[in-house]
Amino acid sequence: MKHQETAQEIIKAVGGTNNINSVYHCVTRLRFDLKDNEKVDNGSLKKLDKVMGTNISGDQFQVIIGNDVAKVFDAMVKENPAIQQSTENKEPKSDKKQNVVLKIFETIAGVFAPMLPAITAAGMLKGLLALFVSVGWMSAGTDTYRILSAIGDGVFHYLPLLIAVSAARKFGSNPFVAIALGTALMYPDMTKLLDGSQTVGFLGIPVTAVSYASSVIPILLAVWLMSYVEKWVDRVIPAALKLLLVPLITLLVMVPVTLIAIGPLGTFVGSGLSGGINWLLNEGGLIAGIVLGGAMALIIMTGMHYALVPIILSNIATLGFDKFLPLTFISNMGQAGATLGVFFRAKDKKLKTVALSTSFTALMGVTEPAMYGVNMKYKKPFAAAMIGSAVGGGFALAFGAKAYVLAGNGGLPGLPSLIGQTFWYSFGGMILAFVVGTIMSTIFGIKEEEGDAEALAQFSPGASSAPAKVASSDATSVNLDDMGDPTPTSDAVAVAPMTGKSIPLKEVNDPTFGDELMGKGVAFVPTVGELVSPVTGTIMNVFKTKHAIVVRSDNGIELLIHVGINTVKLRGQYFDAHVATGARVQAGDKLLTFELAEIAKEYDITTAMVVTNTADYKQVLPVKLGEITMGEDVLKAEI
């Protein structure tokens, strides 16, 4: 599916353009501010090839795309420019009240996400240089080393300038004035003035000695406050003088305020947060590794990991290492291992191919396809991944594993960021997470029919007790309001829809039907490849893959007839439908024919007939079990 088509389908699934206040994107996901999240059609979204999953953070609805998110976003706003608030990843404004903590996390994410390419490139180079020096390929004193080191170190030394630009865009202020604020703080003479060797004052007010090189929190707070100052000054200055006076007054206010108050406060806050988290990582050891390692996938899903970027950068700048980063590598390996376990257990060839390929991409540091496309979809592998990550995280932090640069890739390509004294502890944690994730996923297994059950979910017990529209295979629909009162009016009897042997529904080797999750009923082992209507009524749905049909009788019983187990994978092969959605049928009318012998070569041909509105009846009981001929009474539902 092309990006334009994907974009239009996403807009449709989130309730259309009229339901969108605004949308922007981060590294992997579209972030919608919707008028009503209840209007979202999650089922339709998850069926799109480019969509790996969805998430709600606060009131924000997120559609996870992965690497192509920018392309899908561009296609979306190109076709619908009215929905775009800013092409600069600026956070949309909303009248909705939002959790303050989540608001802070999302703000930090919005500031740091656009900077990550520069930060990660510099971090990767620093890691490679450390590797080259450690193996003797390069000397630290050469001109080449110093030039390459400047590329890596320069970004982190002048990090406040990058933050100033991104924060200005985030908070809606002038990015060039924000840069001017940052350069004033980092001007060589200012750095010398604030080196702590002398007492400094501004108009008699003491200025605390603070180094702003490589700092994060002070400039973030300063630009945030600057956005308000700039807007206030802009309102009171005459239009003819705005160009000159607005930036001048803003800088004259903000530079001293930052030096006197915000800088020391930001340094104190940053040091406190870093100290608290580092204390947990240092003192928590094994327990902290187990808890944080196991929960890392959930932290990443909510986007909370972005809130830790300032602390990670601060740790690397001040301490020379960070203990949180190894856990992100370990979590990715857990996801990769769990998906490999799906490859070992899956029987469907397509699923095996998807599992193997996404396991490889997770090893390379891109986890969204594995996490959202496989592990979360089948649930048990996701639990296996968390267990593997907990084991690996516990091992790594028990031995004090550290990362020494921010490489930006949590997979094998990012290993240079871990090179140092604790490399083997980090790497050992990664191996443990991968191996344990694989083993646990293989042990847990998956229910491959979950995808089929998902398609049938609209016909779960009670699903049709209220008026609804039922999608059909030929793009038409049947409105239940047009079909009369859906409440059963009398006892109902259904005849056998096929010739063969009738058996209790609980004997079906599929928990969706065998555990009566869809409702009560009866099953058949057919000897003839023909299916007829068990009642007189209306066809509610002919599945696109023709392996299942839903029919409702005139007196209200609703029957789902599902031919075979997992036969949805045949995608209609060996099946022929003789009716369409909305057709009127008499009991005994031919509905489907199918090539019984061909289907039976690969699949269990046991056919379930389920009363999907079981809750409307006092009891639903088989009338006859054993050898049966189509047309004989086989099931009774009593009001």
CATH at 613: 2.70.70.10
- Buried-state track 553-564, b at ≥16 Cβ within 10 A, e below 16: bebbbbbbbbbb
Tell which of 64, 97, 130 closes a domain: 97
Residue 141 has phi, psi (to 5 degrees) of -95, 0
Residue 411 resides in a domain: yes
Strand partners, 584: 538
Angstrom CA distances, 183 to 189, 199, 228, 264, 316, stand at 11, 22, 20, 17, 22
Which DSSP string corresponds to 336-404?
HHHHHHHHHH--SHHHHHHHHHHHHHHHTT--HHHIIIIIHHHSHHHHHHHHHHHHHHHHHHHTT--B-
pLDDT in tens, 240-271: 888 889 889 999 998 898 888 887 776 666 66
Domain check: are 491 and 551 in the same one? yes
Residue 246 resides in a domain: yes
Long-range contacts of 451-455 (CB under 8 A, 24+ apart): 451/377, 451/568, 452/512, 452/566, 452/568, 453/512, 453/517, 454/43, 455/543, 455/568
pLDDT of the residue at 83: 64
Structure confidence at residue 408 as a pLDDT band (50, 70, 90): low
Residue 581 resides in a domain: yes
- Indicate the burial class of 209 (C-beta count within 10 angstroms; 0-12, 13-18, 19 or more): middle
Beta-carbon contacts of 157 under 8 Å, excluding residues fewer than 6 positions away, are 213, 214
Q: CA geometry: angle at 214 spanning 210 and 217, to 5°? A: 70
In the chain, the amino acid numbered 491 is D
Helix (H) or strand (E) holding 205: strand 205-207
pLDDT of the residue at 277: 66
Task: Characterize the bridge pairing of strands 20-25 and 29-34.
Answer: antiparallel
CATH at 10: 3.30.1360.60
Domain check: are 424 and 513 in the same one? no
The share of the chain scoring above pLDDT 70, in percent, equals: 80
Residue 281 resides in a domain: yes
d(CA 565, CA 598) in angstroms, rounded, equals 14
Domain check: are 443 and 478 in the same one? no
d(CA 628, CA 499) in angstroms, rounded, equals 6
Q: Which two tokens stand for residue 207?
A: 């200025």
In the chain, the amino acid numbered 342 is V
Q: List the one residue out of 200, 224, 223 whose CA is nearest residue 211.
A: 200
Domain check: are 245 and 130 in the same one? yes
Residue 305 resides in a domain: no
- Over the Cα atoms of the chain, what is R_g? 31
Domain check: are 548 and 434 in the same one? no
**Residue carrying the six token digits 């089929």:** 452
Look up the domain containing 120 and give its range.
114-293
Domain check: are 29 and 54 in the same one? yes
Instruction: Answer yes or no: pTM beyond 0.85.
Output: no
**Residue carrying the six token digits 């990660």:** 120
Residue 334 resides in a domain: yes
**Residue carrying the six token digits 């009398």:** 490
d(CA 218, CA 186) in angstroms, rounded, equals 12
Structure confidence at residue 388 as a pLDDT band (50, 70, 90): very high
DSSP-assigned letter for residue 445: -
What's the whole-number mean pLDDT along residues 206-218? 77
| 106 three-state secondary structure | helix
> Is pLDDT at 168 greater than 70 in this prediction?
yes
In the chain, the amino acid numbered 510 is D
User: Which residue would you say has higher pLDDT here, 114 or 480?
Assistant: 114
Q: Across the chain, what does the average pLDDT equal?
A: 79
Residue 449 has phi, psi (to 5 degrees) of -80, -5
Tell which of 33, 65, 97 closes a domain: 97
Residue 87 resides in a domain: yes
Tell which of 274, 293, 312 closes a domain: 293
Domain check: are 384 and 492 in the same one? no
d(CA 337, CA 325) in angstroms, rounded, equals 19
Domain check: are 211 and 265 in the same one? yes
Domain check: are 71 and 24 in the same one? yes
User: Which residues are the active-site residues?
Assistant: 26
The share of the chain scoring above pLDDT 90, in percent, equals: 21
What's the whole-number mean pLDDT along residues 500-504? 93
Domain check: are 88 and 151 in the same one? no
Domain check: are 91 and 130 in the same one? no
Sign of CA dihedral 411, 416, 421, 424: positive
- Indicate the burial class of 627 (C-beta count within 10 angstroms; 0-12, 13-18, 19 or more): exposed
Domain check: are 379 and 483 in the same one? no
pLDDT in tens, 589-630: 999 999 998 898 888 899 999 998 888 888 899 999 999 999
Total domains in the fold of the chain: 4
In the chain, the amino acid numbered 353 is T
Residue 566 resides in a domain: yes
Q: How many CB atoms lie within 10 A of CB 106?
A: 23
Q: Are 148 and 142 in contact (CB under 8 A)?
A: no
